[in-house]
Structure 1
């Protein structure tokens, strides 16, 4: 449930005066040219009358490589081995990827005290800016994570025809992409993304993501501009998601910039829930003043909760500065009312997280970035974060070798209820935690990266101000598996965060003892490869594991998107043989985990069997952690849940936003209220990850053989206390005899007193010898499948005949009727489902693409169900 509360009265008033803030993005019509092909300097290029003959169309926001790809100057680096065909900046030298970007736009000089501002939200790494023949920045800008703002009022052309010209320089140190984590490590001498020199899950970005990679905007205000507003919410006590709430305190501050040469007196104010808060302010000429408004005690606030625990209520606070009866500037700040607390759990010896006074068991995913070439969009962010919500996760960690995620990402996390754990830009691999023969310099030298500590500190302060209003932002972290150098760490902890954002806990580094006491040894995270199902339940790992994961190859449809036809060959584990293109795309071995399902006939069969492993791996991972909630663990974060390019490991959906079985196995294992089977102790358990007390739940346990014959095992009423896990039924003697030769299916269900199914969990268990011999002999079944469009959703119904075997592991896809290609992204209420004899399952397909998909079909196939294409009624 998401509810947005818009307080619009002040917005209408501001609009009526004609003086409200106006802002637009310069996101089209850019042109570009390599610097080596341009003979003119910036003062000449930026003159509107200067011809730009044969300049390339440019993609802004975007990187140099994005523009080159758009103009077909390089092949798609995400397909096959194409990335090897693109010259690397380490070999070519920086000039090859140094480019001019030019944009013509119309904006007349404002009247009276009006001001026009130019904002850059991200340029990697350096740039010089020219407008209408004049240089805008006095000194060259550096810093991928440092926003830039310029008052361009005096530079605007009288006739309104303006030309902006920006020369963008690559990072000063590009590093040798020698196959190490971050190549030779020197990429970390910059204050920028480290993965661009390559990692164990990605090949190097050949331009190191040089470019105007984030938004460029024009903003128009009066003499006074509002900068960096900050909304803090205080929610004392222990709250419930429903019912009337005790008051919450709203604290608002903002910096005001007076661009005028005279003193300005006016009012900074906002109205929220009918209450007006304001303060009269006198501002000195050409100066900045931080203003703290009086606190607002908000009655009966609608609170923001993480996914699975309550609604994601959002408010909008219209902050404005008025002088002489006119609105000089206004900024609408969206925020959520919530408070995040942390305590040390002395039993688990790890950090415990609470929201609004209620402790939350953390089920998280590690995130790199949405796209390795920085091709970001609000729509893609929304889809990816929604996938994480659909996996029943409640936290996303932004890994430190990448970037500070964009506001649009945090907006999606606010909407879907994902807490965010944001690393700053350090990694133990590059920054010297370990001895590494791939690295150019020793640990002592690397420990002091980056070269410019002041730039790092300034960038942290700037990014904190940009992101601190988002309720989803829960934690800051010094870096991935290492702290920043001591002076940077001290500045963050002792100065920046206390003064700019005193409400969030700061982790020194991602697997520090303040997060999870390392009593096991090693690095404090992992393992990363495939494990036995029993391992996740029986093997105790770190009590709040920041990185633990497994495999993640997509199905045959996904593989065909980025593998050339000649490389569509299944890996041969027995011969220890993996195709070189698979290896290039960072395939992580499934070892012999597919062998119990029978030797693969071809790649399609191999990929289908891999989905069985995918589902089982991630369901078991989260069930194993949940089974020991508050005893061994306070949370875990999966490495990793998405890929920013076409890699073959650690992903719940592929780069093209096509989910695989990992997503739905994790969705099942992460359900807030969930019945699960402990394969080690042969016990049925119920985990309740909500604040509600569930009474009179019917727990149904049934076994089915390979012919579909039912063997009722147990049925009893159970209770589930809030935020707890309880053991209920011991099944060893009942199951062993049934599964001895062929294996069996195990169905667990939780029902209400009205027989509504709250949880439906379905296992396939091997025979006594560990082989899935019964699955290999499973008889085909032909279920009846229908698809019907209802409002903005498509309802797919799969009905299995009464006397048939289980219709096992069915993949549902929405496809284009003409091409038969999957329509992406769309969202399924569940997938890779099994239908018991005589029963039916409904799957809801939703998303924007469902509404616009005119000529579409539903495709369904399973392990013993032949492919069916179904018309949508």
Structure 2
């Protein structure tokens, strides 16, 4: 039978292994247990026992696979070595289709002891795709359906307080080919053999009194353009767990150190089994009108300050439940600006224009993550100077939202493309219900997070009118406080406000700047990007040595889904060979790829930044990272090794930056902060290769207005340049200190775009000749020194590099902290800068930071190499 109460709601993050929380005298225990351990997994094929039997305490799971939740089916089988090294080579092909059968999950746990008025709740954060759920021989649900819809059950009448309890869940996977309203990676990687079937979200047992609280939320409204006040409205749902009316007093406290504490309270009577929204608005509770609030600001704009809302529900003087949530006082507004005949969406935070710039996040292909992984993603986004993470269907990693809130990183969530989600004209009644329940779950989870600034109901295409109307009704009912988008592709919806016109394959840097071309930096884009082979050290981890060179089937298998237009990187390789010279080995290819990734990613973000608010309003690079080891689409690779794309983005997105326009030869100064910079000087110097002779120098004074792009000068086209040359841009303050230092390598025969383009690529008619870089004299005269500090399990290494040569450039230097003298780079790691170039006699200092544990017990060493600098390794004291 189904329980009396079944709702779609996601709870706050719970990590306790035993119930914790307040216990009133003679009252209920308030707490939560994450049911992580003691689970087993097996195929339902060949198992005649029913859920009523399997969910009995003491049932034997001999021969099953032990798993720790959350876990998909394939993740559990991999953890038990049923399938091994599936990310290496083409081993994933050895995993058979796992979607043609059901799968049993079974676990036992001890429930909290009984207390007066005790209620017990079983909550599933995510099940893919449908499930039959049994507890202690009783069926709670015969059809819990929807990967993005959370499921909750009042199990007070079924639980065995203070005793062992048994759960059995029979999971039916989503259909392959993205045919169900589930997770779908489209063409990003091979289709996952189990379609991410299983208990991918957290499974929790919660204990409350007769009234439970759900989904606390604070909506904030500012008197824009002023920000010296804020009106707060507090919402939460109260649920009566009993079969009789209950009167409860709900009290909320808003606090922040150094700020006045606000308290509100309301008494209501709930009917039997009733779930009701409780609201506190400033009209009825004037204390919710804050004077001079401390605002939440995104990265580079200010500090991401947060307040805390603590809620409690009391019944007959005893605490029945408590919930708390951190929130930010901020307001997001949107506007439209017409560029090239299309109205594009722009956004403001607290009244300030913001150019959102980020990447499309992918969780691990088997949906495995942990705190360290989540934290590394958010940290890398900030290190690159980005401010946004887009989630196209990769929803439900609640810890990522919390980390983004604390870091000031924006979240751009929405449903995915190219699947049942967008093939909605023929949905069944069940699919319609699943879609709406999924939206309700996700909006309830996201709405309290200050990092979330928009929701996209569709990706490549908008939902049908009827479904869109229903979606918007849900958002209104849930008091969604942020803008929404019907979809993010103007090709399918002229009023989308966001374009998605590619490319997704390599094109030269000039494309981003040539605003006559599709894909260039005008308007607002939901995604575009290029292939991005990772550094050699990463390639060696997932491509067997015998298949590293020449590029062949294994490389292509890690490029994109078989049969898609992304199943090879031929366009990228052609550009690399034509521009930098034909690669002769995997090492040569990877080195040149780092150069090409750097210049292209740098140009991508520079073009969007330099056109901000006049022509450009936001951009997402496709992708931020990879779901598995990939040679296509990422700013950093699966292993968190930062490469050319990472450092190109970091250079382009530094707080105050000087940039070169490949199309017009203009130089821009972009100030991404809210503080103006006066008294600056921009310099553009052209040098020959290989002898570094200066051909011309152009200077101009610059005042960099806050949160704006300023045109500084135009680079001349003098005689005397070599076919491959350097352009060095520098921005200095009044004291002569370098604010931004930027080196370009280009050609007197520049890249020229062809006339042929489609949704994923633009042809190149003429390739820039960058082979002059190969004539740079070898430079072994780079001196290095390093010092290290260790504190709290974290290490910081300060590296000083000096080019002691009197004549030769040290080009594209890459200092790395490695584990052991012959080890690989310690990961994850951040550097204040990298891939630097030093003129004769120049010096620079770089700081690296990483966790001691990631050395794996090895001593740290400094490895230094460059395009024309031999590899050197030295211990770090």
The two structures have a TM-score, normalised by structure 2, of: 0.87
**2:827–2:850 CA contact under 8 A, matched in 1:** no
Q: Separation in 2 of the partners of 1:105 and 1:313?
A: 39
**For the structure 1 residues 291 and 158, does the alpha-carbon distance in structure 2 shift closer, same or farther, using more than 3 Å as the test?**
closer
**For the structure 1 residues 449 and 720, does the alpha-carbon distance in structure 2 shift closer, same or farther, using more than 3 Å as the test?**
farther
Aligned to 1:107: 111
Aligned to 1:780: 778
Shift of 1:569: 0.8
- Between Structure 1 and Structure 2, how many residues are aligned? 810
Structure 2 residue 376 is matched with structure 1 residue 396: no
1:840-855 map, 5 Å: 840-849=843-852, 855=859
Aligned to 1:496: 474
Residue in structure 2 matching 1:24, options 20, 30, 33: 33
Shift of 1:364: 2.7
User: In angstroms, what is the RMSD of aligned CA positions?
Assistant: 2.8
Aligned to 2:539: 559
Shift of 1:194: 2.8
> 4+ residue runs of structure 1 moved beyond 4 angstroms?
12-20, 445-451, 513-520, 577-585, 708-712, 849-854
Shift of 1:395: 2.1
**For the structure 1 residues 533 and 818, does the alpha-carbon distance in structure 2 shift closer, same or farther, using more than 3 Å as the test?**
closer
Shift of 1:110: 2.0
Aligned to 2:769: 771
Shift of 1:192: 0.8
Residue in structure 1 matching 2:413, options 407, 422, 426: 422
Q: Which string of whole-angstrom CA distances, capped at 9 and with x for unpartnered residues, describes residues 794-824 of structure 1? A: 2122111151422111223222116602222
Structure 2 residue 616 is matched with structure 1 residue 633: yes
SS at match of 1:482: coil
Q: Separation in 2 of the partners of 1:860 and 1:255?
A: 57
**For the structure 1 residues 760 and 429, does the alpha-carbon distance in structure 2 shift closer, same or farther, using more than 3 Å as the test?**
farther
Q: Separation in 1 of the partners of 2:198 and 2:663?
A: 53
Aligned to 2:217: 230
Structure 2: gaps of 5 or more residues: 1-19, 255-259, 283-287, 562-566, 751-767
Structure 2 residue 710 is matched with structure 1 residue 726: yes
Shift of 1:512: 3.8
**1:518–1:524 CA contact under 8 A, matched in 2:** no
1:375-386 map, 5 Å: 375-386=368-379
Structure 1: gaps of 5 or more residues: 1-11, 176-182, 240-244, 433-444
Structure 2 residue 250 is matched with structure 1 residue 268: yes
**1:674–1:687 CA contact under 8 A, matched in 2:** yes
**For the structure 1 residues 518 and 455, does the alpha-carbon distance in structure 2 shift closer, same or farther, using more than 3 Å as the test?**
closer
Aligned to 2:350: 356
Q: Separation in 2 of the partners of 1:819 and 1:500?
A: 56
Aligned to 1:789: 788
Residue in structure 2 matching 1:120, options 103, 108, 124: 124
**For the structure 1 residues 14 and 835, does the alpha-carbon distance in structure 2 shift closer, same or farther, using more than 3 Å as the test?**
farther
Shift of 1:216: 0.7
Aligned to 1:298: 290
Residue in structure 2 matching 1:410, options 398, 401, 414: 401
Q: Which string of whole-angstrom CA distances, capped at 9 and with x for unpartnered residues, describes residues 433-457 of structure 1? A: xxxxxxxxxxxx8664796212211
**2:487–2:496 CA contact under 8 A, matched in 1:** no
Residue in structure 1 matching 2:530, options 550, 559, 575: 550
Structure 2 residue 511 is matched with structure 1 residue 535: yes
Structure 2 residue 738 is matched with structure 1 residue 757: yes
Q: Separation in 1 of the partners of 2:560 and 2:358?
A: 28
Residue in structure 2 matching 1:621, options 600, 604, 614: 604
1:223-622 map, 5 Å: 223-238=210-225, 246-272=228-254, 273-295=260-282, 296-346=288-338, 349-367=343-361, 369-399=362-392, 402-427=393-418, 431=422, 448=427, 452-493=431-472, 495-512=473-490, 524-540=500-516, 541=518, 543-571=523-551, 581=557, 586-589=567-570, 590=572, 591-622=574-605
Residue in structure 1 matching 2:866, options 862, 866, 871: 862
**1:427–1:479 CA contact under 8 A, matched in 2:** no
Shift of 1:668: 1.5
Aligned to 2:92: 83
Q: Separation in 1 of the partners of 2:444 and 2:161?
A: 35
Q: Separation in 2 of the partners of 1:299 and 1:375?
A: 44
**2:95–2:193 CA contact under 8 A, matched in 1:** yes
Residue in structure 1 matching 2:834, options 806, 831, 841: 831
The two structures have a TM-score, normalised by structure 1, of: 0.87
**1:555–1:608 CA contact under 8 A, matched in 2:** yes
Aligned to 2:728: 747
Residue in structure 2 matching 1:810, options 813, 834, 847: 813
Q: Separation in 2 of the partners of 1:148 and 1:235?
A: 35
Q: Which string of whole-angstrom CA distances, capped at 9 and with x for unpartnered residues, describes residues 173-199 of structure 1? A: x24xxxxxxx4xxx33x221233xxx3
Q: Which moved more, 1:390-399 or 1:559-568?
A: 390-399
Q: Separation in 1 of the partners of 2:120 and 2:770?
A: 69
Residue in structure 2 matching 1:695, options 678, 700, 705: 678
**For the structure 1 residues 158 and 627, does the alpha-carbon distance in structure 2 shift closer, same or farther, using more than 3 Å as the test?**
closer
**For the structure 1 residues 334 and 20, does the alpha-carbon distance in structure 2 shift closer, same or farther, using more than 3 Å as the test?**
farther
Q: Separation in 1 of the partners of 2:245 and 2:441?
A: 27
Shift of 1:557: 0.7
**For the structure 1 residues 581 and 466, does the alpha-carbon distance in structure 2 shift closer, same or farther, using more than 3 Å as the test?**
closer
Shift of 1:301: 1.8
